[in-house]
């Protein structure tokens, strides 16, 4: 598996981890569950924060790696 395939897979995983809790919260808000559903508590908020931070740091890793590859290609004239 090439480096670009690996980075694309990591980018997709990071986007899923980052945006899934946001989309689910939006759907629950649209359907009107915040006032009717059970209170999830701080455990749910903690796990959502962990999931979103994992997605954010995965995307940060991919962007730094791609930047370094671009600098290396520009420096050595590869491409």
pLDDT score recorded for residue 28: 76
Q: In a structure prediction context, what are the per-residue pLDDT tens digits for the chain, which is 79 residues long?
A: 567 889 999 999 999 999 999 898 888 778 776 665 556 677 888 888 999 999 999 999 999 999 998 888 888 876 5
Is residue 39 within 8 A of residue 33, CB to CB? The reply is no
pLDDT score recorded for residue 32: 75
Is residue 16 within 8 A of residue 52, CB to CB? The reply is no
């Amino acid at each position: 598996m090439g480096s670009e395939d690996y980075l694309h897979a990591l980018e997709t995983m990071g986007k899923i981890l980052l945006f899934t809790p946001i989309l689910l919260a939006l759907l629950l808000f649209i359907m009107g569950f915040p006032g009717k559903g059970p209170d999830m508590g701080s455990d749910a908020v903690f796990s959502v924060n962990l999931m979103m931070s994992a997605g954010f740091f995965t995307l940060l890793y991919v962007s730094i790696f791609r930047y370094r590859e671009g600098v290396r290609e520009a420096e050595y004239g590869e491409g």
